[in-house]
Amino acid sequence: MHYDLIIRNGICVLPWGEARTDIGVRGGRIASLSVSMADEADEVIDAAGLHVLPGLIDPHVHLRDPGNAAVESIPTGTRAAALGGVTTVFDMPNTAPSITDGDMLRWKQEYASRESWVDFAMYVGATRGNTPRLGEYEQFDGVCAVKVFAGSSTGDLMIEDDEGIRQVLEHGHRRVAFHSEDEYRLQARRKLLTEGMSYESHPFWRDEECAFLGTRRIVGLARRARRPVHILHTSTAEELDWLAGHRDIATVEVLVNHLTQVAPDCYETLGALAVMNPPIRDRRHYEASWEAVRSGMVDTIGSDHAPHSLEAKAKPWPATPAGLTGVQTLVPVMLDHVNAGRLSLGRMVDLMAAGPARVYGLQAKGRIAMGYDADFTLVDMAAKRRITNDWIATPAGWTPFDGMAVTGWPMATIVRGQAVMREDTILGAPVGRLACFAP
């Protein structure tokens, strides 16, 4: 039998467990999980000593395009994703201008299909003006979900009131993703702040009740509308405990930062480079996040990659913009957690491949199985490396994990049977296509 690509000698993480098997790829899809030694291919990758994972997904990135290419863009951000072992990204709509109408969706479809190094999906932003058309927009090719900013946004990408959220939930039928901080509490607590306060005041302003109140309100409205919702970057013990009683209507994302960094230490060592929304919180919430991962409460893990220039981040708090780089470091940091025994490799794959596919209705991705897209992340679980700023492809040029020693590293990124990264080197030309979702 002849294939386009054969991956031999790797330990493959299949839906039913790990197995040593050789994978055959034809036409960009998985054609065999039992390739024989007699079979041939145009390209053979020897994965001896490596684990072959289904292509890992970052379902939460801000590639800032259109916007400021000196900070980030679709070409640079997806290049960073490929270097980090990520085969598909889901890009947020709060750009300049925002992705909130058919013209901007079509522009982004064409641009990403031409310039993305990995497969690509986009959120459409909900506004008061476009709410009646959200059912139409969520069906555009490559749209993963409607995104609602119920707190912490600017311009028309803010729907903070119950009636506005209710109307969004009544237009369309697919799962809606929420930034769920409560804007009313945010604004009330903003009056307590003064310029030049320490960066560790950030979680004081955006406190636990701010997040918990937003999540309670949104899930209550979702239940009344009978519309499934996805709570993005869940960050508090209170939310995670409460959401356990609402799994029929709400799925849960946790960010890698909330599983890795702890306040107040992070603010003391990183200053503005630890400021993100929702904030990095204290050890009680860190431990609750890990317990939620272990118990199955968490459905997806993302980076919330949201770069700003170092010049902008240098502003004193609270003027410093919230947001950190992360798409390129997501996989190495999570592999290090696996090696530290905090979760199994199988659970990591569930959270970063099968989970996003399940939550968003992503088709033909998220698992190594016959007929699925031939997306693979090949990792060396024993590789010892150090994350450094000079490895970062994002033009902003920094990572909050600079200097972090990790065990486990992505060695190859394969998108629909095409290797786009091997051993820290980008290969060929952009090959990304729009991801496909259930209607």
Half-sphere exposure in the Cβ direction for 181 (13 Å, CA): 23
Q: Roughly what angle, to the nearest 10 degrees, separates helices 102-115 and 74-83?
A: 50
Amino acid letter at 435? A
Euclidean distance between CA atoms 74 and 327, whole angstroms: 12
- The C-alpha atoms of residue 420 and residue 79 are separated, in whole angstroms, by 9
Q: Which amino acid is at 166?
A: R
Assess contact for 41 and 27: CB atoms under 8 A: no
Tokens matching residue 378: 């090949």
252 close to 231: Cβ distance less than 8 angstroms: yes
- For residues 284 and 262, what is the distance between their CA atoms, to the nearest angstrom? 9
CA 262, 359, 51, 116 dihedral sign is negative
Q: Where are the alpha helices (DSSP H) in 25-73?
A: none
Verify whether residue 304 is a known catalytic residue.
yes
Query: Cα–Cα distance between 4 and 418 in angstroms, integer?
Result: 9
Distance CA 402, CA 404 (A): 6
d(CA 173, CA 220): 17
Cβ-based burial of 103 (10 A; exposed 0-12, middle 13-18, buried ≥19):
exposed
76 CB contacts (<8 Å, ≥6 apart)? 69, 393, 394, 395
Kindly name the residue from 58, 65, 119, 304 that is annotated as catalytic: 304
> Residues near 363 by Cβ (< 8 Å), separated by ≥ 6?
357, 435, 436, 437, 438
* 183-190 and 208-225 helices, crossing angle to 10°: 160
Catalytic residues: 304
